[in-house]
Amino acid sequence: MKRFNKKVLSATVSMMMTWAVCGSIQTSVASDIEIYKDAAAGKVTLFMMFDTSGSMGHGDGYWARDWRGRIVHGADTVNARNSPSSLVEDYNICNWDYTRYLSWEGWIYTYSDNTKTDKKIDYKVGERATKSFYPTYCSVNQSTFNDLNSTYKSRIEKECEKTRGGFPYICYDRISRLKMAMIKLLTGNQIFNTTRIGIGQFSSPVDNSDQFSHDGKSAKIVYPVVELTAENREKLLDKIVSLDVYNGTPSAMAYAESAAYLLGTNTSGMTNSGYAYSDANTTPKIRNTNNGYVSPLTGIDTSSQCNGQGIYFLTDGFANNSYTATQTMMEKVLDNNLSGTGLTGSSPSSSVTTQGWPEIGKFAQLLRNDKYIKTAVVGFGSLFPNDSTYVKTLTNTRNKPSTYYDCSKLPNPTESGIGNQEKSNRQDLINTCNWGAKPQSDIIAADRSQIPSSVGGYGNGGFYSAQSVDDVVNSVVKFLDDVDPNIEPVTTGSPTIPIDSLNPIQLQPYGYYAEFKPKPSEKPQLWAGNLNKYNLRNGELVDKNLQRLILSTGALNKDAVGLWTNGVKGQLPLGTLVAANGEQNSKRKVFTNRVIKQDKTAVSGDRLAQVSLLSLFADNNEIAKFKYDADKNYWLNFLGYDVGIAENIASLGDLTSKEYRELGSVMHSTPVMLTQEGKITVADGKLTTTGRKDYLMFGSTQGALHVVDNEGKEVFAFVPHEMMKNQKNAFIDSGKYVGSGKNNLFYGVDGPWTAHTQYVSKSDGTLTVKDSGRKASDEEDAQNLIGMQWVYGGLRMGGKSYYALDLTDIEKPELKFHINPDADNASAALKQMGQSWSKPTLAYVNWGDTRKLVMFVGGGYDPIYEIHNADPSSTKGNGVYMFDAHNGDLLWWASDSEKTGASRFTQNNQLKYSVVSQINAIDRDGDGLTDHIYFGDLGGQAFRVDFNNRATDTANFATRAVLLFTEHQGSGLSPRFYEMPSVSIHQDDGNYFAAVAFSSGNRSSPLAGLNSTDSANDAVFVVYDNDVARQDLYKTGITLNTEDESLTQLNFDSGVARRGQNNIFNGGWKAYFDSAKAGRYKGMNDLYALDGMLYVNVYDRDGTGIGGNCGAGVAGDSYLYQYCLPTGKCSFYSGTGNKPGRVKLGAGILGTGLGQGYGNNANTVSLVVNRDEPSALDCSLPANKNLPQCQLFNTQVKLKQMRWYESR
């Protein structure tokens, strides 16, 4: 057997503890998202007024008449029908014609336009019955299509339905397109069920038995505003599909009637009001007989930003038939005179009707300003152009992409050489547009110049041009997005002070803050985030201007500016790189283990391949490994190209220049510093480093592992195949798919990762992870001259996998292995694993007489624990695993029952519950080999496993797995151990023992117990391990001193001694966070021992938290608790009533770690906490010296030999 050097040269205890503490601290947010509070249930109310004038149909019912009102048959009636036909105007198809024959009564005329109504369209809302309607359509044969001009051809190709055979297209009239759009909208899930919608029509049918009885003057309320339950969706559709069309477009009156209904005005008996035509017997009521409309806004604070309301006004033509009665009704609705600036035009008089533009404009402004009702206008049909000349997607002041229409680009009505009718038509077109258009002030400053200040300023809900079914659907969705309350989500996150592997006795004077915006009330399944770098001053994070990053309330300071411009998200290297030879490639470097097989199916591979423009589009198939990937467009979006998922991107020429930039949340994947190179120097007794090449590694919920350089620029991203397989929508904008919100959130690569780094020295003393460049004398020496940097990690709630990457050449990462418990060929032992929550612990063991680097992980998380009071008898993930860190082979595992797949197995019948924490590996004798591991489970149990590194065969490697103590309770009241235990070594009567500390808290349900009593009573548990230093520990048949112990409840004044009466060992102690209120306080994030103290991060469910708009926010606060080790007795806690000292960290679930000391001395460290007012706290005062925030630890190097272990 090869012997290892036992001599241990170490720095002081402080140095060792700095390494241990910093290496394990995770200051991430809770896995469960329930602490992020929804905004109060605001009301979104939309009233939709539909144009049902004759031009929405195909011209049926129209007749030419002479001055006496008599019908004029023949060409005149044909013209009278072609003029309003939307099929003729939009596509120049299905023109009317006539035939006649002579009878004894005279000439008999028959009119036809070849439209059909024999096509049945079925629709179904949820699980309700299937219903049908029959649209009016025109079949277009190839000959007819060929005879059309290019304008009509283009419209047909874009807007009509493609078929096969001799009639390649079917085109629908406008009212049919509107009905089909509403069917698509109301049978789909693009609108929340809580949205409230009502409908109206103009003009009003005055005789329900006559489809051509529309009066041309008024509008009616067809169905009241209701929430979109399945039943109500169906009832709305029943009304919509039964709408008939005829007569004119009294827009001004319809607009007034819409507002009258919303505001509950009584328009009964008013001239040209459609009040009497609206049903008085609906549920809910539209009107109270003759006593006025029943406002759907009653009880709603329309002025609150938590509610939103609007009028959606769809018209296919220009306003007409406005009478003086229009202004009278508008003023009654507003209970005020019309004032302000109207749209361009003339007002009606007692003898002249007009379009009513001045009244419409003033009314829109007053509705918006005084009644908080926005108006969106949809121009339906070919009158309203919708190409990129007019329509622009810009960023609004809510930092969301929004659609804007540039009305100033429409034809100029003052152009010389055009007739009066054309001038009037052009002005009507501009007025219709400006009526709804969103103004320049709605756009962020950077984009504002793209829309002139003359546009909009009236309804401000948006102008949308719609020709197709999808155009109508999109206009409703976009307007709802604008009307939806502007509830800004609370930005939250967590700080990280990573360990410096190059110089672990000093911490860098900066940290990182991962921020994200939780949106629990919205549909996107990806919560976007960012990460930035900040300075560390006076024991807390500050920005580049030394402003505090975290305010005293625990909220993020929105004015704080990170050291990286716009954070990692702003530094993503997007766009196209053009080489000197003209070859184009994507700037972003993305790797995956995805493989596209010959049959074009995708599978997981055993090596990394780069995804780039070349690998997606190159002519050479050896290079274009993803050319036939069915998810090519998802890759393009991740590379930074904003392309539609259904777009045909066959070549680089099809790529848009529009950029897509996004980064997922960094929730639990604590950033890890990777230092590839640097030189350690000593000056004035202090260690410093120069020539550093630092990187930062972290995973995001988008589904990628990111590595960025010291400037925040991404070096590469690794996207596992399973991310594309399971959550590919995370790579595209949320507007491109229908999300299911927080109930199916994307978690991606959310597990904590770790790095194993081995430095070698170059000839100039520089430490590097690459080849040292020095010559070796033999093979063993050659191995010692080659460095390495390997990283390991899992996915947490993103999956079950573990991955290992070789980053020694960080520009060319390699896949070392992939452990996939879901693989078809996975062993039974692997299939027992749960979600990969456990942060890997890398350690050396003697395996079969060979020193081997291994990876320890807990078995994983079983989703049964999403139930806050789950009490399973057995679960997935119930064990601990040891893998070969080189190739991922399963070497050993422990659980309650053996399954195939590992070389060796250790059984303990109590290993029945999920193990999700990092495993704490302990070297008892300083030989560099792990002798013990400690861990807890989600059933309230704690274990130690003993490894015999002197065993020459693997059969005797694991001596035993010991249950140290159990606090398991029935009925789901067991404490849960999500965090790695802390292990500290103490001496008593010349003997060493370990104080092993655990902290419990329901990480899956942090709000558990809020509305019930079935919650665990969480605590700190410290067990005295009186066996860990025994010389005979590896002998068989010995009686253990510490096994299945009972813990004594702590009294702070007396503590719990290691030995009790008759010199019998005590088991240890437990200290409840609040014994009187189970569930309020929960241990969250790491706990650690330092200089005789135990620090525990605790979440207070009932704390203040952060409040946001409309009740949105983050629930609860976090504190750092301070206990004394090993016995729990602290002289300075006398008389405190059994309450430890604590300091508030901030709102939400936070943790803290060590950073450069609050005195800003490079050789000191202190706790990084939220210091309410740093200048007000004098830590030199006796009253303050024992406060957690006043603890200061010296890390200055003092070499001395340390051995707490016994020699063997």
Q: How confident is the model at residue 714 (pLDDT cuts 50, 70, 90)?
A: very high
Q: How confident is the model at residue 640 (pLDDT cuts 50, 70, 90)?
A: very high
**990 located within any domain:** no
d(CA 678, CA 700): 28
307 or 977, higher pLDDT: 977
User: So what's the pLDDT on residue 773?
Assistant: 80
**Of 104-118, 502-516, 1051-1065, which gets the smallest average pLDDT?**
502-516
**1021 located within any domain:** no
User: So what's the pLDDT on residue 1207?
Assistant: 27
For residue 596, which phi and psi values (nearest 5 degrees)?
-100, 115
Residue 639 has pLDDT above 90, yes or no: yes
Residue 255 region by backbone torsions, left for phi larger than 0, else alpha for psi between -120 and 50, else beta:
alpha
- Residue 347 near residue 252, CB atoms below 8 Å: no
Q: How confident is the model at residue 723 (pLDDT cuts 50, 70, 90)?
A: very high
Type of residue at 97 = D
User: So what's the pLDDT on residue 28?
Assistant: 35
DSSP string, 628-672: T-TTHHHHHHHHTB---TT----SGGG--S-B----B--SS---E
User: So what's the pLDDT on residue 1173?
Assistant: 56
Interhelix angle 357-370/324-334, nearest 10 degrees? 10
pLDDT in tens, 59-90: 999 999 999 999 999 999 999 999 999 999 99
% of the chain beyond a pLDDT of 70 = 94
Burial class (CB in 10 A: 0-12, 13-18, 19+), 159: buried
d(CA 983, CA 934): 8
DSSP 439: P
**544 located within any domain:** no
User: So what's the pLDDT on residue 1208?
Assistant: 27
What letters, b where the CB count within 10 A reaches 16 and e where it falls short, cover 209-219?
A: eeeebbbbbbb
Residue 713 has pLDDT above 80, yes or no: yes
**395 located within any domain:** yes
pLDDT in tens, 156-207: 999 999 998 889 999 999 999 999 999 999 999 889 899 999 999 999 998 8
d(CA 533, CA 562): 6
User: So what's the pLDDT on residue 990?
Assistant: 87
User: So what's the pLDDT on residue 32?
Assistant: 66
For residue 538, which phi and psi values (nearest 5 degrees)?
55, 30
pLDDT in tens, 20-62: 333 333 333 335 688 887 666 578 999 999 999 999 999 999 9
User: So what's the pLDDT on residue 739?
Assistant: 80
3 state DSSP class of 374:
strand
Its sign, for the CA torsion 251, 252, 255, 260, is negative
The token duo for 748 is: 């991606």
Residue 1010 has pLDDT above 80, yes or no: no
Type of residue at 227 = E
- Mean pLDDT for 83-99 is 97
User: So what's the pLDDT on residue 488?
Assistant: 65
**431 located within any domain:** yes
**416 located within any domain:** yes
d(CA 1082, CA 1118): 9
Q: How confident is the model at residue 783 (pLDDT cuts 50, 70, 90)?
A: low
CATH of the domain at 239: 3.40.50.410
pLDDT in tens, 1155-1177: 777 878 777 888 887 666 555 67
User: So what's the pLDDT on residue 8?
Assistant: 28
Residue 565 has pLDDT above 80, yes or no: yes
DSSP string, 487-524: -PPPPEEEEE----SSSTTS--SEEEEEEE---TTSS-
Residue 468 has pLDDT above 50, yes or no: yes
User: So what's the pLDDT on residue 166?
Assistant: 83
User: So what's the pLDDT on residue 737?
Assistant: 81
User: So what's the pLDDT on residue 626?
Assistant: 96
- Mean pLDDT for 827-831 is 97
Residue found by looking up tokens 């179904």 in the block = 124
pLDDT in tens, 1-20: 333 333 222 222 232 333 33
**600 located within any domain:** no
d(CA 407, CA 412): 10
User: So what's the pLDDT on residue 1126?
Assistant: 97
User: So what's the pLDDT on residue 1205?
Assistant: 36
DSSP string, 989-1058: TTEEEEEEEEE---TT-TTTTSS-S-S---EEEEEEESSTT-TTTTSTTPPPSSSSB--EEP-TTT---S
Residue 125's domain comprises 45-60+113-136+173-483
| Domain tally, the chain | 1
**893 located within any domain:** no
Residue 485 has pLDDT above 80, yes or no: no
